[in-house]
A and B are shown apart, each in its own frame.
Chain A
């Protein structure tokens, strides 16, 4: 009999405990309701891409020496380098350069290995088209610079969480020009330069 009562008591205790847990969960969900939405209302608001963002690749035609390193380091040999050997100046002359961004995985290996820095990553990520072949960018298309989010009057730029001022958790609450938490790389460099002097 005592054993049975013990069992009933334990069962009741467990029930109360689970009810408590559900109550705790409810309070968490309820607390979320008073928090500001973290959503970014694209296209009226856009996130400022971070410093190391790897977007669409920019190409400078005149710097390219047609060495094809970008093709060799590309996981899928994507860049198309069309060149011709110019016998007069004994150099390869670039005729066309193109990358199909419908296939590119944006690993930026080509940028990493380019000996003349003619390739660079931009912060452009809006690459939607009606036809996938439109994503096959030639050197002219790749030479264009994207709009900066911060300079577009139609768009409210928002910063990512890591770029917010100290103690701030919502990018809606502060303008994007306020300094972020911690020191900028330039400040660190300046400080170390000053201490070395």
Chain B
């Protein structure tokens, strides 16, 4: 075993331990902020695993998208809605817990079977490609064209939806300021009529 192989093995083990530990942290922490931060740890550790597999572009994309965008947005949501809520105990909660456990166990079983049945490392002798970017680009525009385009359409839809929601101007304070009369419905924000864009 050469030095490089040894380093790779040790880092794989460390990263795997980090992924599992951080993932457990996400689930087990009572404080939701801790969960969000450990989620960031999970993402970064997975990015490290990608690097070990010579997938440097995927790894950087993982950091950029999951850590830099998704996790930050989750944290944003948590910190802006910093509301302590006391949940009233739900009757027959054990049914929910049991069903959740069943689903999780099923998923775990499914993934295990998938792991065991997949033929990993189709050609182990294959050396690292010169540029993963070019390789990914070729795949995107040949055999993975359909998923790629579908994903772009999905993102476009999300974008349009976000713009529609963000453009809505709700009137806060004007209606609620009227004392007496009829109070504005609680769960609905009155909207200002929009002027058509030129």
Contact = CB atoms under 8 A, between A and B. Distances in A.
A68 B173 CA distance: 65
Chain A's interface size range is under 10
Contacts of A4: 198
A3 interface: yes
Contacts of B198: 3-4, 7
Nearest to B198: A3
Contacts, number: 3
Interface in A19-65: none
Interface residues of B, number: 1
Contacts of A3: 198
Interface in B156-198: 198
Interface string A149-191: 0000000000000000000000000000000000000000000
A3 B198 CA distance: 7
B196 to A, nearest CB: 12
Nearest to B197: A4
Nearest to A1: B198
A170 B198 CA distance: 58
A10 to B, nearest CB: 12
Interface in B123-143: none
A4 B198 CA distance: 6
B137 to A, nearest CB: 34
A98 B27 CA distance: 76
Nearest to A7: B198
A7 B198 CA distance: 9
A161 to B, nearest CB: 52
A11 to B, nearest CB: 12
Contacts of A7: 198
A130 B198 CA distance: 72
B62 to A, nearest CB: 37
A84 to B, nearest CB: 74
A156 B130 CA distance: 70
Nearest to A2: B198
Interface in B102-139: none
A44 to B, nearest CB: 52
3 contacts: A3-B198, A4-B198, A7-B198
Interface of A: 3-4, 7
Interface of B: 198
What are the 3 tightest A-B residue pairs by CB atom distance, in nearest-first order? A3-B198, A4-B198, A7-B198
